[in-house]
Chain A
Amino acid sequence: MSLLEAVRVGRVFPIDGPQKRFEALKDVSIHLEAGESVGVLGESGSGKSTLAAIFGGLDRPTSGQVLYKGRDIATLKGGDWKCFRQSVQYIFQDPKAAMNPYFTLRQVLMEPLKVNRKELSKAQMVELVEDMTARVGLPTSILSRHPDEVSGGQAQRIITARVLLLEPEVIIADECVSALDLSIQAQIINLLRRIRSATGASFLFISHDADLVRYFCDRSYVMLHGRIVEELGQDLSASAKSEYTRMLLGGL
């Protein structure tokens, strides 16, 4: 039994225009094992983010299922659903959209602890928050600012800190460093790798940077037009068979 699994997932969006519907995912099956890091590659618009949202329970498939430890997440209720939502966390492509604009960054980081880690005292939470802020490479003075008062890269690091504070089992990272400069990319990736070896967290790692996928992941899926078209081993290029995949990898 996989930790998290998508079984023949489809997603159809109703759209304006002559077609009326758009099939963003077609019959997609993927699995993620405990402790594994799996990459998703594919051209822009191929369905990576749509798949990630469904895999993380943020969107529902129009066909097929997502299984968490063997159970269809559509059937989870109450405590089980809460447990799933806490165990599977998401680092988005657009960090500011994921924050309440009226919160200070301190509140952004405290909020999930207050909900999910009720056993901690206020002082312990503050300490955890400040410690994590430093670990993502930000000064703690930044915590009194609001999301629109920090740069995109700083916002992305706050979101990363928020996810790590919850100590999830699965982290779905959708282009989580593509907006950042290389030094901060490296800082975040190094931090994710340290967290991974300390906690054994699993990753679904979506990126258009094939070098980074090769560096971070154990194996990968390649998407095109809403389908998985190839599965690759850790070394990517050595196992790539199709022209399309070689173009994705060789674009650099």
Chain B
Amino acid sequence: MDSRILDIQGLCARDSVEELLVDVSLHVDAGGRTAIVGESGCGKTMTLRALLHTLPPDVEVSAGRIRFMGEDALALKGEALRKDLYMRIGHVGQNTSENLHPLLKVSRQLTDFSPLGRKEALEKATALLESLSIKDPGRVLSSYPGELSGGMRQRVNMAVALMKDAPLLIADEPTSALDAHVRRQVEELYQGLCEREGLSLLLISHDLSFVRRIADRVYVMYAGRVVEEGSLDEVFGEAAHPYTKALASLSGRRSLDRTRDLDEIGGSVPDKGRGDPSCAFSSRCPYAARDCHNALSYRHLGGSHYVRCCHELA
């Protein structure tokens, strides 16, 4: 039996102009909770879209393989795609208005594909919405998505994904529209499902405190590549990549000083093409040196901790 429910190896994707993902490898253990973090546009969502067969029309997977529950996920087609992939993955997409049908009531979107009878499905949907801190599930169920607030739509989206009881839940920025209080509820719900029902989780989030409380394994992506990976403690406790360090120090900011600008990671991702084997972060990196312009290798630091950086920072 496979100990990994999802295993992505050497995934590359490109559109007509440039490479978008370069040699992305990552996995989710059965019952595990993996998180991907990294700057907007670094390829987190693109990686998921490759798995879910929802890449934009001009983007193609040019190398690599994806195994999901023992199947070659990239090769699935037609009925097998539905049965072996879509029915087994709950997906909370980043853009709630894209993922909910605008002309169908929430109740139908939650119950239509459920194997349960209509009445039980509605009861389950109601309970899920309540566990997500929705106070008037009755009204929400009889609404159209456009009649709900941003935070309510985000939670309906989460409930749709959880209705299937799928073994893997993929959540792309599931809490970005929610306040701290509701985010706590979501954390508890996810933790409970992972612990009690053995759910496996692949989480994308820019909220590092959320990631810290939920994930057990973390991948840091930058400009289309994985630049660091390891257990939660390895990556956040002993961050080895300057980019990971910068991310972690930003999320430590909580008392914001009005007399100063907010801290940012200066500069932006260079335009040199993601296939370039040198370090894409070097133009923004406080440790940058000549070696950074050579081809980099992925270094093993011990345990399950790897980094794509030539400096010994520890």
Contact = CB atoms under 8 A, between A and B. Distances in A.
Given A208-B177, A215-B256, A182 B142 contact: no
Interface residues of B, number: 53
A62 B15 CA distance: 48
Interface of A: 13, 15-17, 19, 22, 43-45, 48-50, 93-94, 96-97, 137-139, 141, 148-154, 175, 178-187, 189-190, 193, 208, 210-212, 214-215, 247-248, 251-252
B68 to A, nearest CB: 24
B41 A94 contact: no
Contacts of A184: 39-40, 264
23 contacts: A15-B143, A17-B142, A43-B179, A44-B149, A44-B151, A44-B177, A49-B149, A93-B177, A139-B271, A149-B56, A151-B41, A175-B150, A179-B177, A181-B39, A183-B265, A184-B39, A184-B40, A190-B264, A208-B177, A215-B258, A251-B179, A251-B181, A252-B254
Contacts of A49: 149-150
B280 to A, nearest CB: 13
Nearest to B255: A211
Contact of B206 (A15, A182, A214): A182
Nearest to B151: A44
A251 B271 CA distance: 40
Nearest to B249: A182
B262 A190 contact: yes
Given A45-B152, A138-B268, A150-B41, A178 B250 contact: no
A218 B210 CA distance: 29
Given A93-B150, A139-B268, A215-B256, A208 B41 contact: no
A15 B256 contact: no
B151 A45 contact: yes
Contacts of A179: 40, 94, 173, 176-177
A220 to B, nearest CB: 14
Given A45-B152, A251-B181, A180 B206 contact: yes
B261 A193 contact: yes
B97 interface: yes
A175 B180 CA distance: 14
Interface centre among B256, B261, B262, B271 (most CB of A within 10 A): B262
A189 B183 CA distance: 23
A214 B255 CA distance: 9
Contacts of A48: 149
A133 to B, nearest CB: 11
Nearest to A46: B149
A44 B261 contact: no
A118 B98 CA distance: 35
